Amino acid sequence: MELDLKPLIRQSCRILLRPIASVVMKCGMTWKEFSDISKSVFVEVATGEFGIRGRPTNVSRVSILTGISRKEVKRQRDLLQSPQPSFSSKTSDATRVLSGWHQDLLYLDSTGAPLPLPAAGPAPSFQTLFAQYGGDTPEQTLIKELRSAGSVEADSGDRLVAKSRYHMPVAMTEGNIRFFGSNLFDHAQTLNSNITGNGDARRFEGFAVDDQVAASAAGEFKAYIDRRGQEFLEEIDDWLSRHRVDTTDTNSIGNTETVRLGVGVYAIDGPLTKGKSQ
């Protein structure tokens, strides 16, 4: 009997998406924005990886593989060919309010900066700003969220002051966001290669975990991993350095094929979430 893998892959996707959803929401991204990116990536991967004899997959097959209509596949392909692919303009209510505050002339001073706004009253006030841009989130709930994230503050006159143009619930740096994407990609690519590839395509990947360790040992384990993990990575870095192409030697750079190689090490701490299947 053929094994139905759909429930298992749905469960795995729910587990995988939890940390991704946590990060993107902390950056102020909505589910609709993420959904549109997901659609674009499905079309891109189906086009590039499922062709026959090395050719890009045709529109009809991409539609079959992804479940996206042929018309939408064509539109997504056109977007992917443009210099800056555009996705949904649907943003969170918080970001929409901040954006209106920074762009609507009624709420700007003579220098083009957002005005401090009284909480209520005739325009310009936060009450009228919210009425125009606030969406369906309750006004006081939105103010509480904006103030909690530092997107909005109150001045000495108890007026609301915009501190950022886009709402980011948790402050993050550009480097941290790039680090999250690139490292998750590298680990997932290794798993993808090991699960779907042949023996020649396998990469080293392993883990050691136990869910019955005494909680009192957690601090000792962290110190142990910090020390041994750093020692291991320094050893790997030394090896990579010895095999790196000399960038000062123009002849060497032009005549030597280079590849990206490396190893990632990460700690495991906490229970594995139960990815409920749908």
Domain-located, residue 179: yes
Are 77 and 101 contained in the same domain? no
Q: Look at residue 273 and tell me if it is in a domain.
A: no
Residues 104 and 65 in one domain: no
Count of CB atoms situated within 10 Å of the CB of 14: 16
Contact 135, 99 (CB under 8 A): no
User: How do residues 29-56 score in pLDDT, each as one tens digit?
Assistant: 889 989 999 999 999 999 998 888 778 8
Q: 17 and 65 share a domain?
A: yes
Structural domains of the chain, count: 3
Helix 70-81 vs helix 59-66: crossing angle, to nearest 10: 110
User: What separation, in Å, do the N-terminal and C-terminal C-alpha atoms of the chain show?
Assistant: 22
Lowest mean pLDDT among 35-44, 60-69, 71-80, 89-98: 89-98
Look at the block and give the residue holding tokens 């901040």.
98
Would you say residue 97 lies in a domain?
Answer: yes
Reported as a pLDDT band with limits 50, 70 and 90, residue 86 is very low
What are the helix (H) ranges across the chain?
A: 6-26, 31-49, 59-66, 70-81, 93-103, 126-133, 139-148, 174-196, 218-242, 250-255
pLDDT for residue 93 = 81
Q: Would residue 249 count as lying in a domain?
A: yes
Answer whether 0.75 is exceeded by the pTM: no
Reading the block at residue 256, the tokens are: 């030597």
At 228-237, the pLDDT tens digits run 999 999 899 9
For the residues 188-198, what does the mean pLDDT come to? Answer: 85
Over its C-alpha atoms, the chain yields an Rg (Å, rounded) of: 25
**Side-chain half-sphere exposure of 222, counting CA atoms within 13 A:** 7
Domain residues for 151?
93-162
Q: 242 and 195, same structural domain?
A: yes
Query: Does 120 lie in the same domain as 47?
Result: no
pLDDT tens for 149-176 read: 888 999 999 999 999 887 777 767 777 7
User: Angle 29-180-241 (CA atoms, 0-180°, nearest 5)?
Assistant: 155
pLDDT in tens, 117-127: 999 999 999 99
pLDDT in tens, 13-23: 888 899 999 88
- Whether 106 is covered by a domain: the verdict is yes
Q: Quick one: pLDDT at residue 198?
A: 67
